[in-house]
Amino acid sequence: MNFHVLTLFPEMIRQGMNTSIIGRAIAGGLLSVDSVNIRDFAFNKHQKVDDYPYGGGAGMLMQAEPVYLAWESIKEKIGYKPRVIYLTPQGKVFNQKMAKEFAAEKDLVFLCGHYEGIDERVLEEVVTDYVSIGDYVLTGGELPAMVMIDSISRMVPGVLTNKESGETESFSGNLLEYPQYSRPEEWHGKKVPPVLMSGHHANIEAWRREQSVLRTAKWRPDLLKQADLTNKEWNQVRQWKKQWREENSKE
């Protein structure tokens, strides 16, 4: 999988993507992350890439032509028109399903805006997907691009080892992950849940499943609707919720 990032701050991408699991996958040839400096495609005296918005208003806009030429350089290099993701708080909110979907592409281009945004006309010509990483505003698209690259990469076959495998982690099956414990057996007076010390695998699995359902009901009840719970589990969730309501009304 090849990621191409169109940005005014290529250093930020290079520095952010060369460590840990992603760094290892790049070194192993499973991934590549290329940054393309949009400023290199500003063929004017001062390599200017921004200008005032027509109609007035605060701030500066990134101009169409350098963005277009930078995109064309990628298109020429790979020989086809890839999907181009524009990072914007106006986009569709990124999630795990989208990460899996994007992981099937051979190349993905991320277009990072700055200032007050980018001239609409070039967006119309090159962008295929408008994506946000959540309902808050950031100063530029680089951090969102890196967030997405991280999450898409771990869905690419071979990037995670078996031990790191994506399947039983938070969000698979729309349930949060169960709590985990390592040595020592007692820390700050807190003991590891005895079932985990029992060696009884079926009981351990059942406990973990219950903890996942419990956490999701408590912290992300919005996810439960899409999780496939058994009737027994739904009854348990109703019980817990009743209990929590009673506890809250006492306070």
Q: Is 85 in the site for ligand 6GU (CB under 6 A)?
A: no
Q: Which stretch binds ligand 6GU (CB under 6 A): 31-39, 130-138, 166-174, 239-247?
A: 130-138
Is 62 near ligand 6GU (CB under 6 A)? Answer: no
**Token pair in block for residue 24:** 């290892």
Q: Which is nearer to ligand 6GU, 134 or 158 (CB)?
A: 134
Between the alpha carbon of residue 247 and those of residues 177, 213, 215, 243, the distances in Å are 25, 19, 17, 6
138 binds ligand 6GU (CB under 6 A): yes
Q: How far is the C-alpha of 175 from the C-alpha of 35, rounded, in Å?
A: 35
Cα dihedral angle (47, 53, 59, 63), rounded to 10 degrees?
Answer: -30
According to CB under 6 A, which one of 3, 141, 153, 212 is a site residue for ligand 6GU?
Answer: 141
| Tokens found for residue 163 | 């031990």
Q: Determine the Cα–Cα distance for residues 251 and 67; give it in Å rounded to an integer.
A: 57
Q: Applying CB under 6 A, which of residues 23, 28, 59, 134 lies at the interface with ligand 6GU?
A: 134
Closer residue to ligand 6GU in complex, CB, 9/178: 9
- Per CB under 6 A, the list member of 62, 64, 118, 133 interacting with ligand 6GU is 133
Distance between CA atoms of residues 4 and 7, nearest Å: 10
Q: Which residues bind ligand 6GU (CB under 6 A)?
A: 87-89, 132-134, 136-138, 140-141, 144
